[in-house]
Copies of this chain bind each other. A is one copy, B any other.
Protein backbone atom coordinates (compact mmCIF):
# COMPACT_ATOMS: atom_id res chain seq x y z
CA UNK A 1 0.00 0.00 0.00
CA UNK A 2 1.06 3.56 -0.68
CA UNK A 3 1.72 5.58 2.47
CA UNK A 4 -0.89 8.23 3.18
CA UNK A 5 0.86 11.59 3.05
CA UNK A 6 -1.96 13.61 4.63
CA UNK A 7 -4.07 11.78 7.20
CA UNK A 8 -5.39 14.95 8.88
CA UNK A 9 -8.96 14.23 7.78
CA UNK A 10 -8.94 10.64 9.10
CA UNK A 11 -7.34 11.70 12.37
CA UNK A 12 -9.91 14.46 12.93
CA UNK A 13 -12.78 12.03 12.32
CA UNK A 14 -11.35 9.82 15.06
CA UNK A 15 -10.89 12.82 17.37
CA UNK A 16 -7.11 12.53 17.25
CA UNK A 17 -4.90 15.63 17.37
CA UNK A 18 -4.00 17.41 14.12
CA UNK A 19 -1.98 20.50 13.22
CA UNK A 20 -4.96 22.29 11.71
CA UNK A 21 -8.64 21.68 10.95
CA UNK A 22 -8.94 19.58 7.79
CA UNK A 23 -11.59 20.30 5.19
CA UNK A 24 -13.36 18.94 2.17
CA UNK A 25 -16.50 20.23 0.48
CA UNK A 26 -19.65 18.32 -0.30
CA UNK A 27 -19.95 18.14 -4.11
CA UNK A 28 -16.39 19.52 -4.43
CA UNK A 29 -16.06 17.89 -7.86
CA UNK A 30 -18.85 19.56 -9.75
CA UNK A 31 -20.34 22.09 -12.07
CA UNK A 32 -18.82 25.19 -10.43
CA UNK A 33 -15.46 24.07 -11.92
CA UNK A 34 -14.96 24.83 -15.64
CA UNK A 35 -12.67 21.77 -15.98
CA UNK A 36 -15.51 19.60 -14.65
CA UNK A 37 -17.90 21.01 -17.22
CA UNK A 38 -15.34 20.20 -19.93
CA UNK A 39 -14.96 16.59 -18.79
CA UNK A 40 -18.68 16.15 -18.47
CA UNK A 41 -19.19 17.44 -21.99
CA UNK A 42 -16.67 14.85 -23.19
CA UNK A 43 -18.47 12.08 -21.26
CA UNK A 44 -21.78 12.89 -22.93
CA UNK A 45 -24.03 12.71 -19.88
CA UNK A 46 -23.83 12.73 -16.12
CA UNK A 47 -24.50 8.99 -15.92
CA UNK A 48 -21.88 8.20 -18.56
CA UNK A 49 -19.44 10.26 -16.53
CA UNK A 50 -20.23 8.20 -13.41
CA UNK A 51 -19.77 4.97 -15.35
CA UNK A 52 -16.50 5.90 -17.06
CA UNK A 53 -13.64 4.91 -14.73
CA UNK A 54 -11.09 7.19 -16.31
CA UNK A 55 -13.30 10.27 -16.45
CA UNK A 56 -14.76 9.68 -12.95
CA UNK A 57 -11.19 9.54 -11.68
CA UNK A 58 -10.31 12.71 -13.55
CA UNK A 59 -13.18 14.78 -12.10
CA UNK A 60 -12.59 13.41 -8.58
CA UNK A 61 -9.06 14.79 -8.67
CA UNK A 62 -9.86 18.14 -10.30
CA UNK A 63 -10.71 20.05 -7.09
CA UNK A 64 -7.55 18.69 -5.42
CA UNK A 65 -5.44 20.18 -8.16
CA UNK A 66 -6.95 23.60 -7.53
CA UNK A 67 -7.40 23.65 -3.76
CA UNK A 68 -5.48 22.23 -0.79
CA UNK A 69 -8.37 19.96 0.25
CA UNK A 70 -7.72 17.25 2.83
CA UNK A 71 -9.86 14.52 1.29
CA UNK A 72 -11.16 13.34 -2.06
CA UNK A 73 -14.67 12.00 -2.48
CA UNK A 74 -15.66 9.40 -5.05
CA UNK A 75 -17.44 11.02 -8.00
CA UNK A 76 -20.75 9.22 -8.29
CA UNK A 77 -24.44 9.65 -7.46
CA UNK A 78 -26.58 8.25 -4.65
CA UNK A 79 -29.12 7.00 -7.22
CA UNK A 80 -26.79 4.42 -8.74
CA UNK A 81 -28.19 2.06 -6.07
CA UNK A 82 -31.90 2.11 -7.05
CA UNK A 83 -30.73 2.06 -10.67
CA UNK A 84 -28.96 -1.23 -9.94
CA UNK A 85 -32.25 -2.45 -8.43
CA UNK A 86 -33.83 -2.00 -11.85
CA UNK A 87 -35.75 1.27 -11.46
CA UNK A 88 -34.23 2.86 -14.56
CA UNK A 89 -32.43 6.06 -13.57
CA UNK A 90 -32.35 8.87 -16.08
CA UNK A 91 -31.62 12.58 -16.00
CA UNK A 92 -34.09 14.82 -17.80
CA UNK A 93 -32.20 17.95 -18.86
CA UNK A 94 -32.72 20.72 -16.30
CA UNK A 95 -35.10 18.60 -14.24
CA UNK A 96 -32.91 16.48 -12.00
CA UNK A 97 -32.92 12.70 -11.61
CA UNK A 98 -35.96 10.58 -12.41
CA UNK A 99 -36.86 6.90 -12.46
CA UNK A 100 -38.62 5.19 -15.34
CA UNK A 101 -40.17 2.60 -13.00
CA UNK A 102 -40.76 4.07 -9.53
CA UNK A 103 -41.65 1.48 -6.85
CA UNK A 104 -45.04 2.69 -5.71
CA UNK A 105 -47.40 -0.23 -5.35
CA UNK A 106 -47.22 -3.28 -3.15
CA UNK A 107 -46.20 -5.62 -5.98
CA UNK A 108 -43.30 -3.39 -7.05
CA UNK A 109 -42.09 -2.95 -3.50
CA UNK A 110 -42.35 -6.62 -2.56
CA UNK A 111 -40.37 -7.43 -5.71
CA UNK A 112 -37.41 -5.30 -4.60
CA UNK A 113 -34.26 -7.17 -3.63
CA UNK A 114 -30.62 -6.44 -2.88
CA UNK A 115 -29.08 -6.18 -6.35
CA UNK A 116 -26.07 -8.18 -7.45
CA UNK A 117 -23.10 -5.98 -6.57
CA UNK A 118 -21.62 -6.70 -9.99
CA UNK A 119 -24.15 -4.21 -11.36
CA UNK A 120 -22.31 -1.56 -9.36
CA UNK A 121 -18.85 -2.77 -10.34
CA UNK A 122 -18.25 0.50 -12.20
CA UNK A 123 -18.42 2.30 -8.86
CA UNK A 124 -15.89 -0.01 -7.22
CA UNK A 125 -13.67 0.26 -10.29
CA UNK A 126 -13.81 4.04 -9.95
CA UNK A 127 -12.86 3.77 -6.25
CA UNK A 128 -9.84 1.59 -7.07
CA UNK A 129 -8.79 3.85 -9.93
CA UNK A 130 -9.09 7.01 -7.83
CA UNK A 131 -7.09 5.46 -4.97
CA UNK A 132 -4.36 4.64 -7.44
CA UNK A 133 -4.42 8.11 -8.98
CA UNK A 134 -4.36 9.76 -5.55
CA UNK A 135 -1.22 7.82 -4.76
CA UNK A 136 -1.53 8.59 -1.04
CA UNK A 137 -2.03 12.35 -1.41
CA UNK A 138 -5.19 12.47 0.72
CA UNK A 139 -7.74 9.86 1.82
CA UNK A 140 -10.65 8.84 -0.40
CA UNK A 141 -14.23 9.03 0.89
CA UNK A 142 -16.87 6.58 -0.35
CA UNK A 143 -20.56 7.30 0.09
CA UNK A 144 -24.16 6.24 -0.25
CA UNK A 145 -27.59 7.74 0.18
CA UNK A 146 -29.46 6.70 3.33
CA UNK A 147 -32.19 4.07 3.00
CA UNK A 148 -34.90 6.70 3.59
CA UNK A 149 -33.42 9.18 1.13
CA UNK A 150 -33.15 6.49 -1.54
CA UNK A 151 -36.75 5.46 -0.80
CA UNK A 152 -37.90 9.05 -1.36
CA UNK A 153 -36.62 8.96 -4.92
CA UNK A 154 -37.70 5.35 -5.50
CA UNK A 155 -41.31 6.09 -4.49
CA UNK A 156 -41.70 9.67 -5.73
CA UNK A 157 -39.89 8.81 -8.98
CA UNK A 158 -37.76 11.96 -8.71
CA UNK A 159 -37.43 15.04 -6.52
CA UNK A 160 -40.47 16.31 -4.64
CA UNK A 161 -41.64 19.42 -2.82
CA UNK A 162 -43.52 17.62 -0.08
CA UNK A 163 -42.73 13.86 -0.37
CA UNK A 164 -46.42 13.22 -0.39
CA UNK A 165 -46.30 9.69 -1.81
CA UNK A 166 -43.67 8.27 0.53
CA UNK A 167 -45.14 9.98 3.59
CA UNK A 168 -48.64 8.77 2.80
CA UNK A 169 -47.22 5.26 2.57
CA UNK A 170 -45.41 5.80 5.87
CA UNK A 171 -48.68 6.68 7.61
CA UNK A 172 -50.99 4.22 5.84
CA UNK A 173 -48.71 1.28 5.06
CA UNK A 174 -45.69 1.46 7.39
CA UNK A 175 -45.13 -2.30 6.82
CA UNK A 176 -44.59 -1.71 3.12
CA UNK A 177 -42.20 1.19 3.62
CA UNK A 178 -40.28 -0.80 6.23
CA UNK A 179 -39.89 -3.59 3.69
CA UNK A 180 -38.34 -1.20 1.17
CA UNK A 181 -36.12 0.39 3.80
CA UNK A 182 -34.81 -3.01 4.90
CA UNK A 183 -33.89 -3.90 1.32
CA UNK A 184 -32.22 -0.50 0.99
CA UNK A 185 -30.30 -0.90 4.25
CA UNK A 186 -29.02 -4.33 3.27
CA UNK A 187 -28.05 -2.98 -0.14
CA UNK A 188 -26.28 0.09 1.21
CA UNK A 189 -24.34 -2.03 3.71
CA UNK A 190 -23.09 -4.32 0.93
CA UNK A 191 -22.44 -1.34 -1.36
CA UNK A 192 -20.36 0.59 1.17
CA UNK A 193 -18.45 -2.53 2.17
CA UNK A 194 -17.52 -3.10 -1.47
CA UNK A 195 -16.37 0.52 -1.69
CA UNK A 196 -14.23 0.00 1.41
CA UNK A 197 -12.74 -3.20 -0.03
CA UNK A 198 -11.99 -1.32 -3.26
CA UNK A 199 -10.16 1.39 -1.34
CA UNK A 200 -12.52 3.92 0.30
CA UNK A 201 -10.81 5.05 3.52
CA UNK A 202 -13.88 6.67 5.11
CA UNK A 203 -17.56 6.57 4.17
CA UNK A 204 -20.41 9.05 4.46
CA UNK A 205 -24.13 8.26 4.51
CA UNK A 206 -26.08 11.14 2.95
CA UNK A 207 -29.50 11.41 4.55
CA UNK A 208 -30.67 14.33 2.47
CA UNK A 209 -34.39 13.96 3.21
CA UNK A 210 -34.59 12.41 6.69
CA UNK A 211 -34.88 15.97 8.00
CA UNK A 212 -38.31 16.32 6.36
CA UNK A 213 -39.72 13.67 8.71
CA UNK A 214 -41.60 14.40 11.90
CA UNK A 215 -39.93 13.71 15.21
CA UNK A 216 -40.29 10.00 15.96
CA UNK A 217 -40.77 9.06 12.33
CA UNK A 218 -37.18 10.12 11.63
CA UNK A 219 -35.97 7.77 14.33
CA UNK A 220 -38.13 4.89 13.06
CA UNK A 221 -37.88 5.29 9.29
CA UNK A 222 -34.48 6.86 8.71
CA UNK A 223 -32.16 6.62 11.69
CA UNK A 224 -32.87 2.98 12.62
CA UNK A 225 -31.73 1.84 9.18
CA UNK A 226 -28.59 3.99 9.24
CA UNK A 227 -27.78 2.40 12.59
CA UNK A 228 -28.11 -1.05 11.01
CA UNK A 229 -25.74 0.00 8.25
CA UNK A 230 -23.14 1.39 10.64
CA UNK A 231 -23.28 -1.90 12.59
CA UNK A 232 -22.75 -3.89 9.37
CA UNK A 233 -19.82 -1.95 7.93
CA UNK A 234 -16.21 -3.05 7.76
CA UNK A 235 -14.62 -0.73 10.31
CA UNK A 236 -11.00 -1.83 9.93
CA UNK A 237 -9.35 -2.27 6.54
CA UNK A 238 -5.69 -2.58 5.65
CA UNK A 239 -4.80 -2.04 9.29
CA UNK A 240 -6.60 1.27 9.57
CA UNK A 241 -9.94 2.32 11.07
CA UNK A 242 -12.52 3.26 8.40
CA UNK A 243 -14.53 6.14 9.93
CA UNK A 244 -18.25 6.53 9.18
CA UNK A 245 -19.93 9.92 8.87
CA UNK A 246 -23.73 10.26 9.12
CA UNK A 247 -25.16 13.45 7.63
CA UNK A 248 -28.86 14.21 8.03
CA UNK A 249 -29.63 17.60 6.54
CA UNK A 250 -32.04 19.31 8.93
CA UNK A 251 -31.16 16.81 11.66
CA UNK A 252 -29.83 19.33 14.19
CA UNK A 253 -32.55 18.53 16.72
CA UNK A 254 -31.54 14.85 16.78
CA UNK A 255 -27.77 14.87 17.26
CA UNK A 256 -27.84 12.74 20.40
CA UNK A 257 -29.83 10.08 18.54
CA UNK A 258 -27.49 10.24 15.55
CA UNK A 259 -24.47 9.79 17.81
CA UNK A 260 -26.18 6.61 19.10
CA UNK A 261 -25.86 4.98 15.66
CA UNK A 262 -22.24 4.23 16.47
CA UNK A 263 -20.93 6.51 13.72
CA UNK A 264 -17.58 8.24 14.14
CA UNK A 265 -18.73 11.68 13.00
CA UNK A 266 -21.93 13.65 12.44
CA UNK A 267 -22.32 15.97 9.48
CA UNK A 268 -24.09 19.23 10.41
CA UNK A 269 -25.97 21.75 8.34
CA UNK A 270 -25.46 25.48 8.95
CA UNK A 271 -28.41 25.96 11.30
CA UNK A 272 -26.56 24.18 14.10
CA UNK A 273 -24.34 26.04 16.56
CA UNK A 274 -21.06 24.07 16.63
CA UNK A 275 -20.42 24.93 20.28
CA UNK A 276 -23.84 23.69 21.30
CA UNK A 277 -23.51 20.56 19.15
CA UNK A 278 -20.16 19.79 20.76
CA UNK A 279 -21.67 20.14 24.23
CA UNK A 280 -24.54 17.84 23.26
CA UNK A 281 -22.51 14.98 21.79
CA UNK A 282 -19.55 15.31 24.13
CA UNK A 283 -16.62 12.99 23.42
CA UNK A 284 -18.71 10.48 21.50
CA UNK A 285 -18.27 11.64 17.92
CA UNK A 286 -16.45 14.14 15.74
CA UNK A 287 -18.39 16.94 14.02
CA UNK A 288 -18.24 17.84 10.35
CA UNK A 289 -19.48 21.12 8.97
CA UNK A 290 -21.07 23.55 8.82
CA UNK A 291 -20.39 26.59 6.60
CA UNK A 292 -23.45 27.94 4.77
CA UNK A 293 -22.74 27.11 1.10
CA UNK A 294 -24.46 30.34 0.07
CA UNK A 295 -21.88 32.31 2.07
CA UNK A 296 -19.44 31.36 -0.70
CA UNK A 297 -21.13 34.02 -2.83
CA UNK A 298 -19.88 36.68 -0.41
CA UNK A 299 -16.55 38.43 -0.90
CA UNK A 300 -13.36 36.77 0.46
CA UNK A 301 -13.19 39.11 3.47
CA UNK A 302 -16.70 38.07 4.57
CA UNK A 303 -15.86 34.41 3.92
CA UNK A 304 -12.86 34.72 6.24
CA UNK A 305 -15.03 36.31 8.93
CA UNK A 306 -17.48 33.40 8.74
CA UNK A 307 -14.68 30.83 8.82
CA UNK A 308 -13.24 32.49 11.92
CA UNK A 309 -16.67 32.49 13.56
CA UNK A 310 -17.15 28.74 12.98
CA UNK A 311 -13.65 27.81 14.13
CA UNK A 312 -14.12 29.92 17.26
CA UNK A 313 -17.47 28.29 17.87
CA UNK A 314 -16.01 24.76 17.76
CA UNK A 315 -13.10 25.94 19.89
CA UNK A 316 -9.80 24.25 20.66
CA UNK A 317 -8.88 20.62 20.32
CA UNK A 318 -9.57 17.66 18.10
CA UNK A 319 -12.68 16.36 16.38
CA UNK A 320 -13.69 19.00 13.84
CA UNK A 321 -13.70 18.47 10.07
CA UNK A 322 -14.55 21.68 8.26
CA UNK A 323 -17.11 21.36 5.47
CA UNK A 324 -20.13 23.06 4.01
CA UNK A 325 -23.54 22.44 5.54
CA UNK A 326 -24.74 21.16 2.15
CA UNK A 327 -23.40 20.70 -1.37
CA UNK A 328 -21.62 23.58 -3.10
CA UNK A 329 -23.76 25.57 -5.56
CA UNK A 330 -22.94 25.26 -9.24
CA UNK A 331 -22.77 29.06 -9.42
CA UNK A 332 -20.00 29.43 -6.81
CA UNK A 333 -16.95 31.42 -7.98
CA UNK A 334 -13.92 29.08 -7.68
CA UNK A 335 -11.78 31.96 -6.35
CA UNK A 336 -14.07 32.12 -3.33
CA UNK A 337 -13.46 28.44 -2.64
CA UNK A 338 -9.76 29.22 -2.62
CA UNK A 339 -10.38 31.94 -0.01
CA UNK A 340 -12.34 29.46 2.11
CA UNK A 341 -9.71 26.72 1.96
CA UNK A 342 -6.87 29.08 2.80
CA UNK A 343 -8.81 30.69 5.65
CA UNK A 344 -9.61 27.31 7.22
CA UNK A 345 -6.03 26.14 7.03
CA UNK A 346 -4.48 29.37 8.28
CA UNK A 347 -6.99 30.42 10.92
CA UNK A 348 -7.42 26.95 12.43
CA UNK A 349 -3.82 26.40 13.46
CA UNK A 350 -4.15 28.32 16.70
CA UNK A 351 -7.04 26.10 17.78
CA UNK A 352 -4.66 23.13 17.57
CA UNK A 353 -1.93 24.65 19.68
CA UNK A 354 0.11 26.03 16.76
CA UNK A 355 1.13 29.59 15.94
CA UNK A 356 -1.13 31.11 13.28
Contacts and interface: CB of A to CB of B under 8 A. Distances in A.
Please state the number of chain copies in the assembly.
2
Contacts of A346: none
B329 A298 contact: no
A166 to B, nearest CB: 9
Nearest to A162: B294
A218 B269 CA distance: 14
Interface string A200-231: 00000000000101111110000000000000
A48 interface: no
7 contacts: A164-B294, A164-B331, A171-B303, A215-B270, A215-B276, A218-B271, A253-B271
A240 to B, nearest CB: 34
A306 interface: yes
Contact of A273 (B172, B215, B290): B215
B271 A213 contact: yes
Interface string A280-322: 0000000000101111011100110110010000000000000
Most chain B CB neighbours (cut-off 10 Å) among A214, A270, A297: A214
A155 to B, nearest CB: 13
Given A162-B329, A172-B298, A294-B162, A214 B167 contact: no
A45 interface: no
Given A171-B302, A216-B309, A253-B273, 5 more contacts: A167-B297, A214-B290, A214-B325, A253-B253, A253-B272
A211 B292 CA distance: 12
A303 B172 CA distance: 9
A63 interface: no
A252 interface: yes
A168 interface: yes
Most chain B CB neighbours (cut-off 10 Å) among A216, A276, A294, A309: A294
Nearest to A166: B294
A25 to B, nearest CB: 16
A32 interface: no
A250 B253 contact: no
Contact of A171 (B171, B272, B295, B325): B295
A307 to B, nearest CB: 12
Contacts of A276: 215
A90 interface: no
Most chain B CB neighbours (cut-off 10 Å) among A215, A218, A250, A297: A215
A306 to B, nearest CB: 7
Most chain B CB neighbours (cut-off 10 Å) among A218, A273, A329: A273
